[in-house]
Amino acid sequence: KFRIDKYKDGLNYLINGQVLTWQDKNAPVISPILLQDKGRTYAPVLGEYPLLDNHESWQALQAAKKAYDAGNGLWPQMPVSERLNHLQQFVQSIKPLKEIFSLLEMWEIGKSYLDCRDEFDRTIKYIGDTIDNLMLLEEEGDLINRVDKYIFQVRRRPLGVCLCMGPFNYPLNETFAMLIPALIMGNTAIVKLPRYGSLCTLPLLEAFARSFPPGVINIINGEGEKIIGPVIRSGEIDLLGFIGSVSVATHLINQHPGNNRLRTILGLEAKNPAFILAEADIDLAAKECALGALEFNGQRCTAIKHIWVHESIVDKFLEALCREIDSLKTGMPWEENVNITPLPEEGKVEWLGKLVEDAVSKGAAVINKGGGEIAGNLFYPAVLFPVNNNMKIYDIEQFGPVIPVSSFSRLEELVNYMITSDYGQQASIFSQSGDKAGLLIDILANQVARINLNAQCRRGPDELPFTGRKDSAEGTLSISDALRTFSISSLVVANEYGRDLFLDTLKKGKSKFLKI
């Protein structure tokens, strides 16, 4: 029931309300899942990936610019209630596509079938919750406020043309977490799909085309440097929503000729630590750390990527952690309760192996049974101990199933680790002592954006702020925060000389902005 035919519409893209098919250079989309047939092992070709050129990306930019029209276009001037109708029409159109999305994503990036379905459901819920929050925001905007001798009205307004670039690990949910608030606030958008995980989004193109006015949403594909570089260098992009590496984000921003006016919303790298204090519940900590480090093979920015354990309990913790990892299921993504699945990125298995080799050569050991073993694109989780700052894995975000573990004796060691880290997204504290946890909370609160108590790091619920410090993020994504992130406060103000004009304008009802 999980078989899938080669996807025939992989060369489609969307510009100015038209679903087009690329007729030129393309590349095969190859599954990370290896199959066997009559003694032959092969990776199935799922479809094609269009290698659009800069002419197509330029057309997408012109379409988005025309639809925005310096804020005077149909979409940014449309009443919020009408924009919501378009979005609700879109949601109804894509609901029947859950199965094809889930199968394509499963075969493309090796994510478990149930997790693919969950990503789709979570995205639908996210859109609905965003609509509800915007309605509350609009109610706030209808208020007439007074301060001293001034009366004023504040509303959120769009910023312009938004370029959205989501990641491969959550190609729908993470991309939509930027795209939906950008659109709903009245911006127009260009989406550049990720190299891995692009096919699964393409069944949605027709729904986008039918649900939104031409040019409001444009979806392109290809080599980023070739199709995105010219768009950024034009200076016509007003917002950049990007989830990926620090180096790529820096490269993109530096290409913009007016990057001081470029609004950036960035979800970048993270090296989230878990701190296991001496008073921790060892079994609970081991279970949460195993799941937190290995959910979707550790290919999450929120994954636990370094574990620090108090030296008095390190042996017991490592024993419990290895036991938890032994209980996790390795296999194909359609198997029930599977945890470890094939890795989609080309060369990733070899790269992880080199990280393990480097750590072992500098004094660490792989302490779990079968750790680091490879079968095709499967990489069995490797627990490394003891890890020190001479090893690459100490600083590098592995984004895969390698778990570095270090021990500590004094709180100062953890403080120094956090202060010197380039990253500051999240951390987890495991303890049963409020006194000890409290000391660490006060330190971490100025180093990371979220502290998890006796639990793994994670993004949700989507109502909570999702951001980071240092090189981990810029801007805040949550259901309510994202609406503000992709918009700006505009207000109309009157003192005693403008009061009559303010009230007369309200009474006449000729302004779309100044109204009740």
Query: Which tokens in the block code for residue 445?
Result: 């609160």
Q: Percent of the chain beyond pLDDT 90?
A: 98
Query: Which tokens in the block code for residue 385?
Result: 């101990």
Which residues fall within 8 angstroms of residue 510, CB to CB, at 6 or more apart? none
Which residues fall within 8 angstroms of residue 221, CB to CB, at 6 or more apart? 13, 22, 49, 50, 52, 192, 193, 198
What's phi and psi for 406, nearest 5 deg?
A: -125, 155
Residue 173 in contact with residue 119, Cβ under 8 Å?
yes
302-331: average pLDDT:
98
Q: Percent of the chain beyond pLDDT 70?
A: 100
Give the tens place of pLDDT for each residue, 107-131.
999 999 999 999 999 999 999 999 9
Q: How confident is the model at residue 425 (pLDDT cuts 50, 70, 90)?
A: very high
Estimate the crossing angle of helix 80-94 against helix 173-184, to 10 degrees. Answer: 150
Query: Which tokens in the block code for residue 115?
Result: 């997790």
What gap in Å lies between CA 375 and CA 384, rounded to an integer? 20
pLDDT of amino acid 286: 98
pLDDT of amino acid 349: 97
347-369: average pLDDT:
98
295: three-class secondary structure by DSSP? helix
DSSP string, 430-446: E-S-HHHHHHHHHHHTT
pLDDT of amino acid 452: 98
Query: Which tokens in the block code for residue 334?
Result: 């359609």
The predicted model scores a pTM of: 0.95
444-454: average pLDDT:
97
Residue 32 in contact with residue 342, Cβ under 8 Å?
yes
What's phi and psi for 82, nearest 5 deg?
A: -75, -35
259-279: average pLDDT:
95
Q: How confident is the model at residue 180 (pLDDT cuts 50, 70, 90)?
A: very high
pLDDT of amino acid 251: 96
Q: Is the pLDDT of residue 192 over 90?
A: yes
Q: How confident is the model at residue 259 (pLDDT cuts 50, 70, 90)?
A: confident
Closest CA to 423 of 442, 452, 395: 395
What's phi and psi for 348, nearest 5 deg?
A: -70, -40
Q: Is the pLDDT of residue 516 over 90?
A: no
**What DSSP element (H or E) covers 505?**
helix 499-508
Give the tens place of pLDDT for each residue, 47-90.
999 999 999 999 999 999 999 999 999 999 999 999 999 999 99
What gap in Å lies between CA 179 and CA 173, rounded to an integer? 10
